[in-house]
Chain A
């Protein structure tokens, strides 16, 4: 089939966004202007989920789907702010103001989840003083209490790295080969890895978001307590099974 005009426009938009990388481009950066065909190409790419608008309604900052990582961006920004504050503690309000500056809408919405993530990841400590809540970054604690540095470093060594992903995928492949199914119980994966759900859940959610993993309900009523203990809630529904797409060929 001959490529159509719209296909050409789509290819050119994808190329521009590939060059822009994580920073992305707004409509003028993409040279959309009033061109009907370019607007249509943009809309189609969005519907096909090849690109994502990180802003909200009426504002535009497009990135390729692989850079649609608002939670990670929010975490990076949060760490950047908190580790550069020196000894100064920021109230939640101050933190929100600093955090929101210049960030696209989708990333701004992730502040609370980013805080939870970093706490679970042992990179942030929540402090309560009267009605106020402050957050201390690991680097600040290390600087203020050098004697605790070694212990803190070991804590911070847990988070996911490329190595961890490989480990998880390898555990997944092992179970999938044993059972013969690419959908496996999250519980089995967790048991195989020997990690807590506080580590596995954000990892799997992130993989799901990226399209590398698919979470599904399974059957709650027929599942054991153990299997239910490793469920992931999405939209109020527990998901008990996971399938990694990239691994399908390996099974």
Chain B
């Protein structure tokens, strides 16, 4: 291992993803609050299956200032209860009218992440949370059915063997799966017998769960996912899955109706969790809701619904003292406030804990890093001269400064450009950050776009079915729709609406954003493809963003959220103006004419291959510790950073460390 660290171990002082928190906790730091959360969570596991346990409150964590470790506390909670709960980290929604849709999308995206909180990608031996949830519910239902005599197995050890079977075992046992499929009605009976009421039919749910975990057919799995998201399905495919007709959502729902369906999907998930294990929903970065009264109020209603109407779940909500009291609480109804637990207030870091943190942070980089920093303790003396506790981030910033001084680095204070690059890097390093996020696009069009005084923005609020926002500029009208689905009927309706808009104003067009994981529009074999392709040349502008473009856009939103949280010395206004300038290419794309042919974006053909993963593994294992640029330069075929990170996550021994100027990988065997 190199003795000269190429990264300042104290520079990374913001947790962007609770799953990334260090394994080692600082002794005693916020332990009281963590224990309190764990004891509340234990209540959800108290009874025998199936459970129907309600917590009387959402757990409310409050910090006296930014940087006291709210997200870190959630990360520690996630690590401890990983494998005992389904974990959902909810980022802020930007449009109150579609809040449930946004929360459900995030929930399903989180369900597709590995069940093991430490893994970054799911594969056969490391199933996703959704697969584990579906498997767990089905096994519990079979067990109930056997107990109740609805299923009479030949073998005495049937239940024991079943409960010991892994997902992989069952997936490979076609005979068993066939039998299980035929028994689904008996499993449904168990749900009804226990008095569990689901909004969608239990039979639809069980068929969907069955397909989600035991089927390899991608088309069926994708359709199940679409159904979980509250999207519409073709009746023939719904029938192949086993979804009842009455459970197929309409393809042209307005926001209100879609919101209801999405809310009930979440409540159904929680009901079904009674057969397996509880959900934990954590609402972090809540400062962002304070910018708009309707957002703050919507958050209050969401929390109230989760507490009142759902069971088998624990909701955790975090906030910073002043933004909470000044900007959010004031917009909450008394009833919503009553749904919060007494506040759990975060504590600062003591000097002893600080020393422990220094040791922990510096050890992966340098054997004597700890001694280097603590040999002379005058600077520590200065920090704790008139106080016994400080915020963790404040302490890390002091350590970082001291580290640079000792290492002879005279790095200038980071400017907004540096923070932006660091945010892009942060997005790139985790593939989960690159999924479709309607909130980012809404923010971009609704808040950043208006920096240009020529754009007049209108919110389309009257139970909108197709579009959320409208730009008016110089007689032109641009309608924006945020659509992650890929149902032909839905897109046909969107196309027709778009056509009608253009007929009333020749200068108008409609814009939709698509991210790399979404299916191409029109889909292969769609009967409506010809009319959609014609529309795409004329008024229906579908902007397919590649990974590099997406990293720049999501990085911008991440920068904004960090500023809103008070994690950076920047105002949100500064960030918005900066982002507007930086994303000039994006505005040109949005306002410009629809390209005559939709050429594939550069690098879109890049794919993660087993050879690439193997090569990355070999290089990092040999060199142990290196910068990301160096790693790319050593590959036989150069790839983009986005693809490199997508491939890198398949090698769990590779750990990643980020700073504002550098990202390094380390081999940890």
A: residues with CB less than 8 A from B are 47-49, 180-183, 205, 208-211, 214-219, 221-223, 234-235, 240-241, 243
Contacts and interface: CB of A to CB of B under 8 A. Distances in A.
A219 B322 contact: yes
A248 to B, nearest CB: 9
A217 B65 contact: yes
A216 B64 contact: yes
Contacts of B65: 216-219, 241
Contact of A49 (B68, B320, B321, B384): B384
A47 B358 CA distance: 13
18 contacts: A47-B351, A180-B342, A183-B64, A208-B386, A210-B388, A211-B389, A214-B348, A214-B389, A216-B64, A216-B68, A217-B65, A218-B65, A218-B322, A221-B571, A234-B387, A241-B65, A241-B321, A243-B64
Overall SS of chain B's interface: loop
Contacts of A209: 385-388
A218 B321 contact: yes
A181 B343 contact: yes
B27 to A, nearest CB: 12
B630 interface: no
B468 to A, nearest CB: 28
Given A210-B388, A222-B327, 11 more contacts: A183-B64, A205-B386, A208-B388, A211-B389, A214-B347, A214-B387, A216-B64, A218-B65, A218-B321, A222-B322, A234-B386
Contacts of A216: 64-65, 68, 348, 391
B651 to A, nearest CB: 39
A180 B62 CA distance: 11
Contact of A181 (B321, B385, B386): B321
Interface string B369-396: 0000000000000111111110100000
B323 A47 contact: no
Nearest to A224: B326
Give the interface centre of A182, A210, A216 by most chain B CB atoms within 10 Å. Answer: A216
B357 to A, nearest CB: 13
B576 to A, nearest CB: 15
A183 B321 contact: yes
Contacts of B391: 216-217
B515 interface: no
Nearest to A57: B378
A222 B345 contact: no
B282 to A, nearest CB: 21
Given A219-B320, A234-B387, A180 B348 contact: no
B465 to A, nearest CB: 37
A183 B345 contact: yes
Contacts of A243: 64, 345
A239 to B, nearest CB: 9
A215 B417 CA distance: 32
A176 to B, nearest CB: 10
B221 to A, nearest CB: 45
A86 to B, nearest CB: 36
Nearest to B374: A47
B346 to A, nearest CB: 9
A10 B580 CA distance: 60
Nearest to B384: A49
A214 B345 contact: no
A89 to B, nearest CB: 32
Contact of A219 (B343, B352, B355, B566): B566
Contact of A48 (B64, B352, B571): B352
The listed residue with most A CB atoms (<10 A of its CB), out of B342, B343, B348, B389, is B389
A213 B321 CA distance: 17
A215 B350 contact: no
A180 B344 CA distance: 10
A216 B64 CA distance: 6
A243 B64 CA distance: 9
A212 to B, nearest CB: 9
Nearest to A183: B64
B448 to A, nearest CB: 20
Interface in B544-590: 566, 571
